[in-house]
């Protein structure tokens, strides 16, 4: 896929990410999503690179590019009414970072959003997504698309 870029603010999501699924997600503010996401962007699970700006050095390193996996859509399992972009950074952070700027580069598509019979099935699918994303980003191809002037602006 052609890379897609998003530059937004981390907002409070549905509060389900870490509590119920063991997978914290940084939700990107709706205005940035509306303005920057291509109109024909396909819902689904993507992977790519991300950077945090405006976060305390005790929480994250501003120079760092993090591997990420993201869900773009309406979460059929929960039946959300509105489009959301939720980014899981593949890293353990000591604290939340609501209000920080999150810059995301989508580089690959993993699968469509699915409904599941149980929460456990959703959790298993998310775990596999994290592994698949991590492997794709560690590969030679994944490393090639890591450095991007977008992250320096």
Nearest residue (CB) to ligand RBF, 4 versus 21: 21
> How far is Cα 78 from Cα 64, in angstroms, rounded to an integer?
33
Q: How many other CB atoms sit within 10 Å of the CB of residue 77?
A: 17
Could you say which of 37, 55, 68, 75 contacts ligand RBF (CB under 6 A)?
75
Contact letters for Mg ion, residues 1-20 (x by CB under 5 A): ------------x---x---
Nearest residue (CB) to ligand RBF, 10 versus 75: 75
Strand partners, 51: 103
Secondary structure class of 135 (helix, strand, coil):
helix
> How far is Cα 57 from Cα 36, in angstroms, rounded to an integer?
28
CB of 18 to Mg ion, least distance (A): 8
Q: Binders of Mg ion among 51-90, rule CB under 5 A? A: none
């Amino acid at each position: 896929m052609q890379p897609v870029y998003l530059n937004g603010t981390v907002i409070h999501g549905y509060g389900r990410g870490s509590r119920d699924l063991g997978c914290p997600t940084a939700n990107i503010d709706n205005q940035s999503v509306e303005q920057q996401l291509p109109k024909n962007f396909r819902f689904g699970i993507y992977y790519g690179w991300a950077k945090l700006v405006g976060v305390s050095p005790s929480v994250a390193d501003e120079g760092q590019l993090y591997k990420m996996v993201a869900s773009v859509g309406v979460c059929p399992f929960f039946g959300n009414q509105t489009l959301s972009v939720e980014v899981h950074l593949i890293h353990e952070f000591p604290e939340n970072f609501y209000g920080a700027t999150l810059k995301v580069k989508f580089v690959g598509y993993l699968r469509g959003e699915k409904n599941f019979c149980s929460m456990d099935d959703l959790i298993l699918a998310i775990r596999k997504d994290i592994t698949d994303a991590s492997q794709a980003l560690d590969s030679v191809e994944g490393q090639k698309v890591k450095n991007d002037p977008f992250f320096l602006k």
